Amino acid sequence: MTCLDLQDVSVQRGERCLVDKVSLQIPAGSLFGLIGPNGAGKSSLLRAVAQLLPHTGHCHLGAQRLEQTSASWRARRLGYLAQAGELAWPMAVRDFVFLGRLPHRGSGLPLSWRRSTDHDSGPASTQTNEEAVNLALKQTGLSELAHRPLNQLSGGELARVRLARALAVNADVLLADEPCASLDPFHQLSVMELLHAQSRQDRVVVVVLHDLTLASRFCDQLLLLHEGAVVAAGEPRRVLTPDNLQRVYQLQAIHGEFRDQPYIVPWQSSSSATPVNSTNKSGFRLQDEIPVQ
Amino acid sequence: MNLRNDLALNALLLASLACLMVLSLTIGPLKLSMQEVLAALFQGGSANLLPESLAGIDRAARLHLIVTEIRLPRVLLAIIVGASLGMSGAALQGLLRNPLAEPGLLGVSASASLGAVLCLYFGLASISAWLLPVSAMLSAALSTLLLALFAHRSTSNLSLILAGIGLSSLAAALISLAINLAPTPADVQDIVLWLMGSIADRSFDDIRLCLPFVLAGLGLLLSCGRELDALTLGDEEAQSLGVSPARLRLKVIIGTALCVGASVAVAGAIGFIGLVVPHMLRRATGYHPARLLPASALGGALLLLAADIVLRLVSQDFELMLGVVTSLIGAPFFLLLVMRNQAEVAR
């Protein structure tokens, strides 16, 4: 059973402390959400875990200390999905997803699409590259578009292609930076359902989110960051309290439950509006009247 | 599927290259037929005859001499220079993730030109034929060292481009200074003609000089293929796949500098090959930077050889310079490509 274990992880840029001594444990088989306002240090923390940013402190995956592993060791075990960026070349969807198999391809010629024979090829050694790519395309609902060039896709399709690329790595740990940004509600839900299903396959899935309802509904555990420091960590209900939202986001929100699942609708920023004390017309009551628990 | 496409494409390019090689060998003051060229290449007479004794020897030996000692170096040089410019362009475009990148961008070719121009300016070229290419190559190496040091310290591609622009502006200014201060009009003409780029009147000595560097550069660039593919995803995701962007940048800079420095040293500044060729072949290679590398090398060789043939067919009694011709053909062609791409994007 692998487990991602962070001890006192800090990221410093110049004088500024982007992430301040974060310690947490994420067991395999769980979906972990990083939330917080813009600039809270969510992405920096994710990058530090992926060993893409210099940091202090320790990250362990199982018994291995990540800082001491080789880049190729990590490449097979940590999948990383960056925030949406500009794509350089309009290659076909399938070819793009295939790039995720790079760590599993032998060290031979650039064109060797062969089965990996490396004994240290990580969890995917029983799976051929083709199978992994086909599975990733199927999971993201892209099988139909496999031969379409990237520049003929909508923004939502592109986001799914990038996610498929990260899934194709078939790593123990998947680190996704805002995978739901720029997606419509349907695809936001389907991406979260997919990530949830991935976590249930004995993986560690860490995801940066802005949508509080998605965070509380799908994540097993949340970490709320504010200016680099941990404000709260644990189950969504205990993290997304009205007090915390007020403190971190300066936000008043509607908290509710539907079929035993929590939802949170941000309603107004406390800086601009007078506090809302009364029940609104639709019958929801605002945070300062009902604590959710 | 990709593999088969690539094999077909590269085989096609290679076959065209072989045809153009033979065609190129037939062209010259003495028109030869294909059969004569092939016969002269593969049988020929004894190769150690001196040119002064040309009149005295039999036709077969004479043809052998013309084909192997005069025309073959030119053809081989066109292939070597074209391949190195083509692959450097493809590698740089992959590294910078920008289809407008080209070998000249890093300032290596301008620096190599500066080395050669200084050699001409001080009249060193007349002392030994080797001095000019050697000084061009040393100058290219120096600018590469500067670039590599720079790339080592900074992490962004933009600052690499800016450093390249700075280097090439400096080199261009110094070249202008050398032309400005040149002692005699003849020196000015030498410098300007050299800057136009040419592969006329080259011997196997030039090939021997540049080939090791070009081969090393091509090998280094070819080894970057997978990492360039990964870089399609952006620096961070590429790094998460085990690629080190900093090391890749260094490899591409050094590979490009070896290729371009050696090419400029023997052939002068030849533009547009590194820009146009990857552009033409990108779609055929499925927009894979790795698959583009070998195809661009073959395509560059093909294009430069074709340009050299056109040049010799057009100019019988005056010598057109190769660099001028490639730019004359390349620039409008490039504009056309850009316009067609625009139309595609607009659709």
ipTM of the complex: 0.84
Q: Does B232 touch chain A (CB under 8 A)?
A: yes
pLDDT of residue A283: 44
pLDDT digits (tens, 9 = 90+) for B14-45: 999 999 999 999 988 888 888 888 888 876 54
Q: Does A59 touch chain B (CB under 8 A)?
A: no
Nearest CA in chain B to A92: B286
Interface test with B, best of A97, A99, A129 (most B CBs within 10 A): A99
Cα distance between residue B52 and residue B73, in whole Å: 20
pLDDT digits (tens, 9 = 90+) for A234-256: 999 899 999 999 999 998 888 88
Statement: residue A113 has pLDDT above 50 = no
Residues of chain A positioned with their CB less than 8 A from the CB of B236: 47, 52, 80, 82
Could you say which of B3, B98, B287 has the minimum Cβ distance to residue A91?
B287
**Contact across the interface for B241 and A110, Cβ inside 8 Å:** no
Q: Does B242 touch chain A (CB under 8 A)?
A: yes
Cα distance between residue B307 and residue B297, in whole Å: 15
The runs of H, that is alpha helices, within B181-244 are 185-196, 204-222, 225-231, 235-240
**Contact across the interface for A91 and B288, Cβ inside 8 Å:** yes
Q: Which long-range contacts (CB under 8 A, 24 or more apart) does A118-127 make?
A: A120/A73, A120/A76, A121/A76, A122/A76, A122/A77, A122/A170, A122/A171, A122/A172, A123/A76, A123/A77, A123/A170, A123/A171, A123/A172, A124/A76, A124/A169, A124/A170, A127/A170
Calculate Rg over the CA atoms of chain B.
Answer: 21
Cα distance between residue B203 and residue B69, in whole Å: 7
Cα distance between residue B306 and residue A176, in whole Å: 50
Nearest Cα neighbor of B149 from B250, B262, B257 is B250
pLDDT of residue A1: 55
**Residue A114, min C-alpha distance to chain B (Å):** 11
Q: Does B245 touch chain A (CB under 8 A)?
A: no
Q: How confident is the model at residue A274 (pLDDT cuts 50, 70, 90)?
A: low
Low-confidence ranges of chain B (pLDDT < 50): 45, 47-49, 346-347
pLDDT digits (tens, 9 = 90+) for A164-223: 999 999 999 999 999 998 888 998 999 999 999 999 999 999 999 999 999 999 999 999
Q: How confident is the model at residue A275 (pLDDT cuts 50, 70, 90)?
A: low
Could you say which of A52, A92, A105 has the minimum Cβ distance to residue B236?
A52
Name the CA dihedral angle for A33, A36, A41, A46, rounded to a multiple of 10 degrees.
Answer: 10
pLDDT of residue B54: 53
Interface test with A, best of B243, B251, B287 (most A CBs within 10 A): B287
Q: Which of helix, strand or coil describes residue A213?
A: helix
Put simply, whether the predicted model's pTM sits higher than 0.90 gets the answer no
C-alpha separations of B258 from B31, B136, B299, B323, B347 in Å: 36, 12, 19, 20, 41
Nearest CA in chain A to B347: A152
Interface test with B, best of A78, A81, A89, A163 (most B CBs within 10 A): A89
Extract the tokens encoding A192. Answer: 């979260």
Could you say which of A78, A80, A151 has the minimum Cβ distance to residue B236?
A80
